[in-house]
Amino acid sequence: PPDVEQLGRSTWTLLHSMAATYPEKASTEHQNNMQGFLKFFSKLYPCWVCADDFQTWMAHPSGRNQPKLGSRKEFGWWMCEAHNEVNRKLGKKEFDCRFWEERWRSGWKD
Ligand code: FAD
């Protein structure tokens, strides 16, 4: 089976990078593409327990965890919250999402 930690770090890099390069204001087509990506991603992510929990989180009946895809700012924040949800589950420190852009877009050393 894949190394869940290594896979996770690589995947968060991909996901946050996708948010960091997301349009400042996304067209309907772009939003639909990302919606589709996240839907399939959450079914196909090759750590099945991770994928199951992530899908369940996104599909919360209140609708509060649905991807926010209107703009880079919204999407980046949403991705940060999604990652924090996993951090909490694993007993890791939460990330202060105010620093999301600095971490994933303008860049700092980690
Ligand atoms: P990671 O959590 O991989 O983070 C990498 C870097 O991202 C950090 O060094 C930090 O700089 C930055 N970062 C941290 N938090 C945030 C945030 N909220 N927003 C932005 N940047 C942040 N592992 C399991 O064992 N069980 C699971 O159920 C599970 N579910 C997962 C679901 C998904 C969708 C993904 C992508 C990964 C999942 N993982 C799961 C893996 C887990 O999240 C970690 O990637 C793995 O444990 C390695 O953790 P890490 O401490 O190296 O840093």
Instruction: Report the pocket of ligand 1 as residue ranges, CB < 6 Å.
Output: 4-5, 8-9, 11-12, 16, 45, 49-50, 53-54, 80, 83-84, 86-87, 90, 92, 95, 100, 103, 110
Domain 9-105 class in CATH: mainly alpha
Tens-place pLDDT, residues 11-35: 999 999 999 999 999 999 999 999 9
Q: Is the ipTM of this complex over 0.95?
A: yes
Q: What is the pLDDT of residue 2?
A: 73
Mean predicted lDDT score pLDDT of the chain: 94
Q: What distance in angstroms lies between residue 8's CA and the mean position of ligand 1's atoms?
A: 5
Q: What distance in angstroms lies between residue 82's CA and the mean position of ligand 1's atoms?
A: 10
| 110 band by pLDDT with thresholds 50, 70 and 90 | low
The DSSP symbol for 97 reads G
pTM summary value: 0.96
List the chain domain ranges. Answer: 9-105
Alpha helices in 1-110 (DSSP H): 4-20, 28-44, 48-58, 72-89, 100-101
Tens-place pLDDT, residues 62-88: 999 999 999 999 999 999 999 999 999
